[in-house]
Structure 1
Amino acid sequence: MGNLSLRPKGDFTWTAEYRELYILTEHWISDLQFHKQDLHFLYHLIDKYFIWLINEENLGEMRHLSSGLSETNKNCDRLLEKTSKHLTHLGELIDDPFKYDSHKFRTEHEELENEITSFFKKFREIKKETFADMEPIIEKEVKRLTP
């Protein structure tokens, strides 16, 4: 799958006004915060069913899953911090358009967007994997509790 783009079609990053980039960056922060909450839910899901997940046949999967969630959580925190700094710089650029080199700043904006896009793709994969691993365990528990 190719690089998914969050920006409008064309050369938006290179032609947009700083205010437009600011609004887009605010959306990225909102999306990252949502994913952070989603990660919290996934951790809670695993904690709730942990006892059923730690049997010998699931142990390797659990380690892989926990490692993936941990790495995804760290990446989310890193991107939230990086995007927040970027938003601050955008605010400074709106106040003083000559504060930073425009070409360099727009290149950094595009690179940040690609990092966020890659994160979202990896997040979807770990979320899908988590649900796939959890589904049979939850189904067993539901059957056990159903009279």
Structure 2
Amino acid sequence: MKTIEDLQLENELQELHLVTKYWISNLEFHKSELNFFQKLSLRYVGADKEKMKTLKTLVQRTAVLKEKITETEDALAAHLKVIEPLMVNPQENITILFLNRHLDMEQEVSDLFAHYKIVRQEVLDFADQSIAARCFEQNMNINPS
């Protein structure tokens, strides 16, 4: 017979499972968006050496971030493999180490999302400046004064 505590534990495990899957989904989206940002940035650089230097830095930062996302996705997948059997048999021992690991993963994902937002904004700012400069150059070529 299942007790209230058993049901609460099952609910908690389901929540941990869903949260972990949500993190993986978001990380996958962020990784694909970083690929798009890299392509967008490369498109608007032109021959400006300063822009090339900035772009090189941004490409390196996005590459490092994508690598970290992949590592975190792998760690989350391993974490899911621990959670899933517990959902089937919640009577197994759930240790404080497991809960601490989940909290560590939560912090890691949170930090990664924050880092992603910073890099994303830098890439968008770079693309915005590059597009504006390119439009200005095109207007100057059309309307030489």
TM-score (norm 2): 0.79
Distance in 2, Cα, partners of 1:126 & 1:85: 27
- 1:97 aligned counterpart, secondary structure: coil
CA deviation after TM superposition for structure 1 residue 55, in Å: 2.4
Percent identity of the aligned residues? 21
Specify the code of the residue in structure 2 equivalent to 1:34.
F
Cα RMSD (Å) of the superposition? Answer: 2.1
Secondary structure of the residue that 1:110 maps to in structure 2?
helix
Deviations along 1:109-133, one digit per CA (max 9) or x if unpaired, are: 0000100000000000001111111
Inter-CA distance 49–99: structure 2 relative to 1 (3 Å threshold): farther
State yes or no: 1:121 paired with 2:121.
Answer: no
What secondary structure does 2:49 align onto? Answer: coil
Q: Which runs of 5+ in 1 are unaligned?
A: 1-13
Tell me, in whole angstroms, the C-alpha distance in 2 between the residues paired with 1:128 and 1:100.
44
- The separation in 2 between residues aligned to 1:143 and 1:60, in whole angstroms, is 21
* TM-score, normalization by structure 1: 0.78
Which residue of 49, 69, 75 maps to 1:76? 69
Structure 2: runs of 5+ lacking an equivalent: 1-8
Count how many residue pairs are aligned between Structure 1 and Structure 2: 131
Aligned to 2:6: none
Distance in 2 of aligned mates of 1:43 and 1:84: 26
Structure 1 residue 92 corresponds to structure 2 residue 85: yes
Q: Which has the larger radius of gyration?
A: 2
Aligned to 1:58, what secondary structure does the other structure show?
Answer: helix
The match for 1:137 is 130
Counterpart code for 2:80? L
Work out whether 1:66 is the aligned partner of 2:59: yes
